[in-house]
Structure 1
Amino acid sequence: MKSLFSSQSRLRFPQSSLWFSLMLIIALALPLLLPTGLVQAYSGYPTFDIVSVKPDESVTIKVINLPPNQTFTVRMGKIGTRAIGGIEVGQFTSGSGGTQTLTFNIPAALKGLHQISIRMDSKPGGYFAYNWFYNTATATATPGPTATPGPTPTPKPTSSGYTGIPTFTILSVVADEKVTIRTHNFPANQSFTVRMGKYGTKGIGGIAVGNSDSGKGGVLEFTYTIPAELKGQSRIAIRMDSPAGFYAFNWFWNNTYP
């Protein structure tokens, strides 16, 4: 008996149909085969600001641009250590990423210190960020830094009655217009040249924006105009140098703050 179907109709389909079917199957299966981390796009790196401090008790931070699906371990340590190998004070998960506000207790071993480093490291991605804060009731929230956790300790030129290092924090910013800073432990009777530059330069060789006399030293407030060459920059470095060799540097987000 003769078959109702020809051998060609039983064994072959048009090539174009086979190719379309194969591509459709791959397209539907691809999201299931890709690792989760490859589906979610992330760029940049996390940073965090100091929101408030309860001396010898706790610090509240605001973390920005968190990568998703990471578990961060938070540590504190002495100033200048970047909290590397510091005391673990907690962990948190980043979830879908973005911004989180978190509070951590200051460990007993660091109580009484004037300045404390704080750091967070993640697994599995290896992300990290660090900062520092004044362990005092007058601690000022600052917009950054992460890449440079406050000014680096300076050489200690001979100055009668002066010890320690000068530092300064960012009080406020008017985007593309001006920045106001507050100094801490500044040496007396010094004339500081103030410069601004691109982020990452520490202000070295930057544009001179003014000169400020420290007077009696200690805590002072100054406001400087952001130069035209740096307008539009998202972050700006700022630095202060005196002829005696004292210096301090920091950086700020070029956004209106607070």
Structure 2
Amino acid sequence: MYAFDVVRPKSLDEALAALGEEDAQALSGGQTLIPTLKQRLAMPSKLVSLTAIDALKGVSLEGRELRIGGATPHAVVAAETAESYPALSALAGNIGDPAVRNRGTIGGSLANNDPSACYPAAALGSGATIVTNTREIAADDYFEGMFATALEEGEIITAVKFPVPEKAAYVKFEQPASRFSLVGVFVTKGADGVRVAVTGASNNGVFRWTEAEEALNSNFSADAISGLSASADDMISDLHGSAAYRAHLVGVITKRAVTAANG
């Protein structure tokens, strides 16, 4: 590690002012940033911790919409959405280990946009809205590729709004050491139709499997996608699985997610 300053502002305005200084970087749960600093892949001179800003924490439900503060830890999301959005609760409760779930935050995960992270699938699969200090961004417009998002320099995720669907489920085939997804699929069925979001599989990060969505809109059952196969083009190929293997898993895991969503 190297020497740097850490500040813990108590308000969003204070945090934004600190981030406006030269070579400052936001710190949420730190589950990705701290290892990055240890490897000196990033070397900001000041970290602006968001963990003391109460306005960025908490879960609330208004009608059929969940609002989750950007600095809310995974463990809190899991506990406080168990009744209102069980699929999201199950996803949050199976991220990493207890230490990760109590430190990592939903906003940090979405800002980092790891190609194997779980929350991007939840946001895209739910048709969520990412709220920042300056604007609201639809999930369909937010994710721009591996580790890339629509966030601009100095922009902070303050909350995420999830419309609660009629049916939903998340299933992941995980790498057992890290518990990241080799393939994870979040499926929802709501008033606007079916959404199928896939994480862990593509070099381009989280994506919607539109062919499966079209089939499931006509028949929301695992049988509806039996004849479909995801393309292996641009799929991740590494020591854990080839591109063809991941493409095959997309179909298998999607069927399991649809079955789970149907109860």
Is the TM value for this pair above 0.5? no
Between Structure 1 and Structure 2, which shows a larger proportion of helix residues? 2
Which of the two has higher C-alpha Rg?
1
Between Structure 1 and Structure 2, which shows a larger proportion of strand residues? 1
